[in-house]
A and B are shown apart, each in its own frame.
Chain A
Amino acid sequence: MTTTPWDAIALSLQVATACTLLGAPPAVALGWWLARREHPAKALVTALVFAPMVLPPVVTGLLLLALLGKHGPLGAMLDRLGLAVAFTPAAPVLAALVVGLPLFVMSARAAFAAVDPAYDELSASLGDRPRRTWWRVSLPLALPGLAGGAVLMFARSLGEFGATIVLAGNTDATRTIAIAIYALLDRPASGPDVRVLAWSSVAISLFALAGYEWLARWQRRRLDLPR
């Protein structure tokens, strides 16, 4: 293994940042839609989005590989376009995106559900079209909860292992913290490196969860709810 623990930590932070940024638009849109709209397909969409939360991540990885591997239906197509995903630097991002997204969507759904639709009504009566109401009322009132969802997704993505090892493998370009620890475990004299990786994970995760708590309190303050 040629990477140092710090390379793995840097890669993990990059992967978690990238997949959280990529996940934000769909998570916010899905969360709003699930909280505010009735639709016959809602149960199906909910099941599909939240499945990775209850499936073993390894199984999610296998499904992604079946879809995106060289011989998968989507993977073969992407391969012809020169956009291979499996075992490339895009793979850990995609694996973490699929596994982490449900946490963001769930927080977004709760955040939008907590905003009283009465504010939307009032905004409309004051002349705001629905789109403007969404930007000026629904989104800002839900914002702390949305940010909390982003933090949760970031924290979850940071430690993603099961789906990542299947879809991305253990290569220099895909060795995140969790994969690096796994690779180091059966090497002699790897103790110091493993400790650096493990303690960094713990520190980043605790920091993220503290941020989540702070954001949740901000949400209650913002909505003028009892603390």
Chain B
Amino acid sequence: MTAPLLDVELRLPFGADDRVLTVSSASGRVAVVGPSGIGKSTLVRAIAGVEQRARGHVRVAGEVWQDDRDGILVPAWRRGVGWAPQDARLFPHASVRENIAWGLDAVPADLDAVCAALELRGLLDRRPRNLSGGERQRVALARVLVRPTRLLLLDEPFGALDRALRARVIEALCARLGAHPVVLVSHDERDVAGLVDDVVELG
């Protein structure tokens, strides 16, 4: 039996207690569901490598990103994740285009295709402060889709989209991702059907 593509077991502080969160998925295409406050976002942050308080292990596609028993902690900038946080978190001093191409040496070849699929054309020269919540979320999605990543971490990526747009974005995402590993945080199981193979329920 081969090791699962995604294998995470992390102890995270929650108030006075600790909580152990476990995610394992053979294909690495997994949805994390559960009530709010259960630690879904913290789990995603820990996989991204920005949650200092997480203890345990994170293994992705045969690589160890964190293992506290062996003293391994790969810094966030070497993990190659595509993290779209729940609050989108666009750099306020950069245009939409600059946000999407952030840190890339050249303008990505499929920028136009991704922006078309996410219905972002016409917004590329705007500043984030002039975007709606749903537009911000789609820019954050575009930002992780145009770059090479080993694992996508999408934290409630459709929360601010209306139902029709949500369906179109999910369809575009399905077409684009194929078998690419993705951890998708959602409170709505209807969103995750075509995007993932496994569902992990926390709590």
Contacts and interface: CB of A to CB of B under 8 A. Distances in A.
Contact of A124 (B75, B93, B143): B75
Contacts of B93: 140-141, 222
B75 A141 contact: no
**Candidate in B45, B76, B91 with the most chain A CB atoms within 10 angstroms:** B76
B50 A121 contact: yes
**Contact-residue size bin, chain A (C-beta under 8 Å from the other chain):** 10 to 19
A124 B74 CA distance: 12
Interface residues of B, number: 23
Contacts of B13: none
Contact of B103 (A126, A140, A223): A126
Contacts of A141: 92-93
Contacts, number: 53
A127 B80 contact: yes
A122 B81 CA distance: 10
B129 interface: yes
B74 to A, nearest CB: 11
Nearest to B78: A127
A66 B76 CA distance: 50
A137 interface: yes
Interface in B114-168: 128-129, 143, 147
A224 interface: yes
Contacts of A224: 92, 128-129
A207 interface: no
B147 A126 contact: yes
A140 B102 CA distance: 14
A222 B50 contact: no
B129 A122 contact: no
A223 B85 contact: no
A128 B77 contact: yes
Contacts of A222: 92-93
A191 B143 CA distance: 66
A118 B45 CA distance: 11
Interface string B75-89: 111011101010101
B77 to A, nearest CB: 5
A125 interface: yes
Given A126-B147, A128-B103, A119 B50 contact: no
Interface in B67-116: 75-77, 79-81, 83, 85, 87, 89, 91-93, 102-103
Interface in A108-122: 118-119, 121-122
B60 interface: no
Contacts of A121: 45, 48, 50, 76
A129 interface: yes
A137 B77 contact: no
A123 interface: yes
B109 to A, nearest CB: 18
Contact of B48 (A125, A128, A129, A137): A125
A127 B49 CA distance: 11
A206 B48 CA distance: 48
A146 B75 CA distance: 29
A118 B103 contact: no
Interface of B: 45, 48-50, 75-77, 79-81, 83, 85, 87, 89, 91-93, 102-103, 128-129, 143, 147
Interface of A: 118-119, 121-130, 132, 137, 140-141, 222-224
Given A124-B75, A125-B76, A224-B129, 10 more contacts: A119-B89, A122-B83, A122-B91, A125-B50, A125-B79, A125-B81, A126-B77, A127-B80, A140-B93, A222-B92
